[in-house]
Structure 1
Amino acid sequence: MRKFVIILLIALFGFLVACSDKESQEPVEEEPVEEQTEEPTEQEEAEETDPEKDEPEFIYPLTGLPAEEEPTNRAIGVMVNNHNKARPQTGLVKADMVYEFLAEGPISRFLAIYQSEIPDVVGPVRSAREYYYETADAHEAIYVYHGAANFIEKDLRAGVVDNINGAYYDNDQFLFKRESFRQAPHNSYVMLPNVYEVASRNNIETEKKHEAWDFLSDEELVDGKAAKEVKIRYFDNLKVSYVYDPSTERYTRYSDGIKSTDLNTEEAVEVSNILVYETEHEIIDNVGRRFIDRESGGDGYLIQKGKIKKIKWKNVDGLMKPFIDGEVAKLAPGKTWINVIPKSPGLDKGVTYE
């Protein structure tokens, strides 16, 4: 009996000890596992702060606007008629750059340079002049015109610039056509995309990597005087004006007070840059043809983003380029029009702005 009591007591003591240990044990909280994150590399940090990260890989060389792929099509320079019987023109709104020179008398013509956009039809197309084809050549463009004086045609046939004369394709309906709603010589139109095919047939190069002009970045500001409207007077009966729209940062062009629009689409001519250069003009024959000095440089204006600034222009490899403080001035991305005016009336009397 005594032995049984001892065994029972030992068992009871063991049970009480086990319960006491169980109650004294507190739950152990697990430490949270921290997620491992990789530190950015120096290259990744540089890319995040690099202002050029969002810049397009490719741009059009004459407009500075983004291109989906590297532009390799050669520029085309077209002689576009600006007689009042030739307005409104077709396809002029699509040109990357347009030069407005005086032709004869109080009449100007355009050299329209196309590269980023090649419209189906451009015109009316008119005859050649030396300072137009010299400018086209400086752009390394294919020069397209319709007819020329014998002494000019002689140089063009000799290959002074790669060219296509509409007189040899007059109304062939593939390259040139005559429109019935206008009378000659204001009714010749070129089917611009077909220029490349005809050029190839004539062993004229149709691909070229053109050197890009200098363009402003989004962060760069322009200085100068306010210029909401700019008026340019060639003659009393030949005036050009540009009106600024701050919402688009572009200027709408007017010719003799009438908005410049496309004949077919009625789209207005809107430009991001206006250049005005004054230079010597000299009448060289009884028809009123001119010599225009493109070499000597001189004074000018650069108008962009609602501001106008006095500049100098210099001939750089055949191109009349703007300079500020000895450096090539940057253009705002977009289309550019260059108005070349005689020294009389010149900038002081021929250009006004407000």
Structure 2
Amino acid sequence: MVTTVGTERGARRRRGAGAGMLLTAVLTAGLVASCTSSDGPSDDGRGTTGESPARPDDRDSPPPLVVKIDNAPAARPQTGLDSADVVYTEQVEGGSSRLIAVYATGLPDSVGPVRSARESDLELLRQFDRPLLAFSGAQSKLTPQIERAPLEPVTPESDPDAYTRDPGRSAPHNLYLRPERVLDDPPGEAALTTGFRFGGAPADGEPRNDLTVRYPAARFTFTWSGAQDRWLVSMDGSPALTREGERLAPATVVVQYVTVRPSGFRDFLGNNTPFTETVGSGEATVLRDGRAWEANWKRPAAGDGTSFTTDSGEPVNFARGQVWVVYAEAP
């Protein structure tokens, strides 16, 4: 039964380094090319591994690589999602969805299809220390905010050697990032300043076989596989696969109930771009080990990670492995 609910910089090998000074022109060009309407760890308890996540100004580790990934049907199956440490899902125009993949402990050969940035991304990514954000464009009115944001843009214009087009797919669903052209090595677990804790499961927990989250024009279903000890992902009713035909299967799934409000941006068809508020507090459902825990989430400021606790204040530890965070509109 399906339940439905509403770096040190020296570690980086940059290509076209002077292009960062021309960000406004880069993003405007990227918008024309690609912006459309459709759209582990140890158990010691600190940071991504447990108890006391570091603040951005306390960190000196290399930044993670973050990639905006297309999730339109024509973009599937995506490449490199199974290698991400964390995958976030967000609503975009028309009630459809996009994915945000974070890479720190490993880098795949290719990631994509890469698509455009949104205003919500800037708030979400403040939890990291100047992350590398790979995207293929943004609305021109969003450009000043991206310029001011504490991140390093990686676009087809600023780093052309880092991108390739798949001739077997049609644009705009055919742009792929080659991470090895952006980072010499993965930055490591210390870059994952998400606030997540990993370790043994909390007490109790309700047995759960599956859970579906619906957006106005998209849905995600997570089905427990005891054989794989993972949650099998389906998108819009179809199994979510890698390019090799394997199921996407995170160890932990978080359904985080947030405010999704209109932003000041619209696509060229006039559809408003939703803004997903990831700072604040609210409720969440955490899935791991074939069970579900009702939790409370808290992120006091944009520079903080997000903590998850039970009603009694006990931290909700995640299972080792990939984490999916699905931002669902709070009831």
TM class by shorter-chain length? 0.7 to 0.9
Change (3 A) 1:95 1:259: same
- Find out whether 1:287 has 2:271 as its counterpart: yes
CA shift in 2, pair 1:296/1:165, >3 Å:
same
Q: Say if 2:228 is the partner of 1:278.
A: no
Give the partner amino acid of 1:323.
T
The answer for the alignment partner of 2:328 in structure 1 is 341
Which structure has the larger Rg?
Answer: 1
1:144 to 134, 144, 166: 134
Which of 194, 206, 214 is matched with 2:197 structurally? 214
Q: Which amino acid aligns with 1:123?
A: G
RMSD after superposition: 2.9
Q: Give the C-alpha shift of residue 306 in structure 1.
A: 0.7
The TM-score normalised by the length of structure 1 is: 0.69
SS in 2 for 1:289: strand
Q: Which protein, 1 or 2, shows the higher relative CO under an 8 Å CA cutoff with sep ≥ 6?
A: 2
- 2:255 partner SS: strand
Q: Deviations over 1:41-95 (max 9, x none)?
A: xxxxxxxxxxxxxx9799997579xxxxxxx653211101111111110011111
* TM-score normalized by the length of structure 2: 0.73
Distance 1:274 1:56 in 2: 18
Match of 1:26 in 2: none
- The amino acid of 1:114's aligned partner reads Y
Pairing 1:157–2:147 present: yes
Structure 2 residue runs without a partner (length 5+):
1-40, 51-60
The answer as to 2:248 corresponding to 1:269 is yes
Structure 1 gaps, min length 5: 1-54, 65-71, 347-354
- Output one character per residue of 1:75-130: Cα deviation in whole Å (capped at 9) or x when no partner: 21110111111111001111110110101112111110011120010000011112
Task: Report % sequence identity.
Answer: 23
Query: Quick one: which of 141, 144, 158 aligns to 1:168?
Result: 158
Q: Is the 8 A contact 2:80 2:110 kept in 1?
A: yes
Structure 1 counterpart of 2:132, which letter?
I
Mapping of 1:62-77 within 5 angstroms? Answer: 62=48, 74-77=63-66
* Aligned residue in 2 for 1:107: 96
Aligned length: 270
1:102-251 aligned within 5 A = 102-140=91-129, 141-169=131-159, 172=160, 174-196=161-183, 209-210=190-191, 211=193, 213-217=196-200, 220=201, 222-235=203-216, 237-251=217-231
**1:319 partnered with 2:298:** no
8 Å contact 1:100–1:111 — kept in the other structure? yes
Structure 1 SS opposite 2:280: coil
Task: Provide, for residues 139-160 of structure 1, a one-character-per-residue CA deviation record: whole Å limited to 9, x for no partner.
Answer: 3332111101112222222343
**In 2, are the aligned partners of 1:301 and 1:309 still within 8 Å (CA)?**
yes
Tell me, yes or no, if the aligned pair for 1:275 and 1:339 is still in contact at 8 Å: yes
